[in-house]
Each structure stands twice: as C-alpha cells, then as structure tokens.
Amino acid sequence: MAGPRPVVMSGPSGAGKSTLLKKLLNEFDGVFGFSVSHTTRNPRPGEENGKDYHYVTREVMQAAIANGEFIENAEFSGNMYGTSKAAVQAVQAKNLICILDIDMQGVKNIKRTDLNPIYVSIQPPSMEILEKRLRDRKTESEESLQKRLHAAKVDMEISKEPGLFDVVIINDDLNIAYGKLKDALLEGGKKT
C-alpha cells in the first residue's frame, strides 16, 4: 500500500491505548488520523458514532464482512469489532498516517494483509494495575470486566512472541509512555 506506513496500536483492554492515542492525535493534528472501526457494542457515555466507532448491529456487520468490506474483524468480549477498507482509505485520502487500535486477533489478521504497518504494543505495568484501571474507568459490567481480564492474560503471553511487535511500551507513567510512543513513531517514519 502506498504512502507512509500506518500504525497498529494493540495491547490489553485498559492498558491505555485510547489515552495515548488521544494525546497523539491532539498534538499531531494534521499528521495522524484515526481509523474508525465498526463495533456491535453499545456506545459509552461521551462516545460519538462515526468518531469513536461506527456502531452497528451484528446483522449489518456480518453482511458487510460477507460483502468483503473489511480488512480484518474479530470477536472480543462478546462483541464484534472490525476495520473497514473505507475507514483506512478515508484517513489515507487526507494524506494522514493511519492509526488502528485493534486487539491481538486483529494484529494477527493484519499481518496477512499488505498494509505493512508499524506494530506497537501498549502493555500495563501489571495485571493488578490493569484491573484497577479497568474498574476505575467504570465502563464494564463485572461479566465484561472478567472477559477482558481473561483476554488480557492471553494477550500479554502472546505479546512476548519475538518479532510480533516492532515496539513494546509499558504504560506506567503516562507522560513517559507517551514520550516513548512519539520516539517510536518518529523513528518509524524515518525508516519508510
């Protein structure tokens, strides 16, 4: 795919991907653009349709996948998520570096495409801190929280696979993690 290399951000739910991404998109408005995924989960308070996600029904999403409209899709914590070709193209058409926030299944699936992104893993300092962050965020039911913690354990194991990610950032102190993210992306930009 032509143009600057996209960026894939992955890591356990609650590790801080969206927090870091928002800082990046604010500071580098006009450089990076967010690939707006589709999901069947309900919007959280403050989230906007078309900005945070495209919120769709399972039927709509399944039909679009069957129609070949998605680069990748996954089932996560009882809901469907996916990156449409249109979402990536919309960012690239504005000449922005496209950033995808996707789970581990998405990472594995993107590896089979020609997208050729820089793979960044955002990891929490520990499972205990991850659980506290997720609980404090107050977005999950106990059932959803347990599913996410289970997925996080699996994710953290798979993330150790050599070569899976170009960069691994432990998000302990937010500003330090953000500095590392910026360094990695500026470095990645030089290699294209």
Helix (H) or strand (E) holding 152: helix 142-158
Name which position in 18, 62, 79, 89 contacts ligand ATP (CB under 6 A). Answer: 18
CB-CB neighbours of 48 under 10 Å: 10
Looking at beta carbons only, is 47 or 192 nearer to ligand LQESDW3C? 47
3-state secondary structure 61-109: HHHHHHCCCEEEEEEECCEEEEEEHHHHHHHHHCCCEEEEECCHHHHHH
Minimum separation from the CB atom of position 151 to ligand ATP (A) = 10
Q: Does 111 bind ligand LQESDW3C (CB under 6 A)?
A: no
Cβ–Cβ < 8 Å for 121, 11:
yes
d(CA 178, CA 173) in angstroms, rounded, equals 9
d(CA 143, CA 51) in angstroms, rounded, equals 26
Minimum separation from the CB atom of position 165 to ligand ATP (A) = 15
Choose one: 20-28, 98-106, 119-127, 157-165; the region binding ligand LQESDW3C (CB under 6 A): 98-106
44 in active site:
yes
74 binds, among ligand ATP, ligand LQESDW3C, none (CB under 5 to 8 A by kind): ligand LQESDW3C
Name which position in 15, 74, 88, 102 contacts ligand ATP (CB under 6 A). Answer: 15
